[in-house]
Amino acid sequence: MSIRKRLGALAFASAVGLAGCADNPEYHYNGKIGEEQVNFYETELGEYNILIVTKSDGSKAEYYDILSNDLKLDYVDFTVGKNTTSYSAGSKNPEVQAVVKKAQARFDWYLKKITEIQTARFLREDRE
Tell me which residue range forms the domain holding 102.
24-123
DSSP 14-53: HHHHHHT--S-GGG-EEEEETTEEEEEEEETTTTEEEEEE
Residues 114 and 38 sit within 8 Å (Cβ to Cβ) = yes
From first to last of the 128 residues of the chain, give the pLDDT tens digit: 444 444 344 444 344 334 456 777 888 999 999 999 999 999 877 689 999 999 999 999 999 999 888 999 999 999 999 999 999 999 999 999 999 999 999 999 999 999 999 888 788 765 55
Q: Indicate the number of domains in the chain.
A: 1
* 10 found inside a domain: no
* 49 found inside a domain: yes
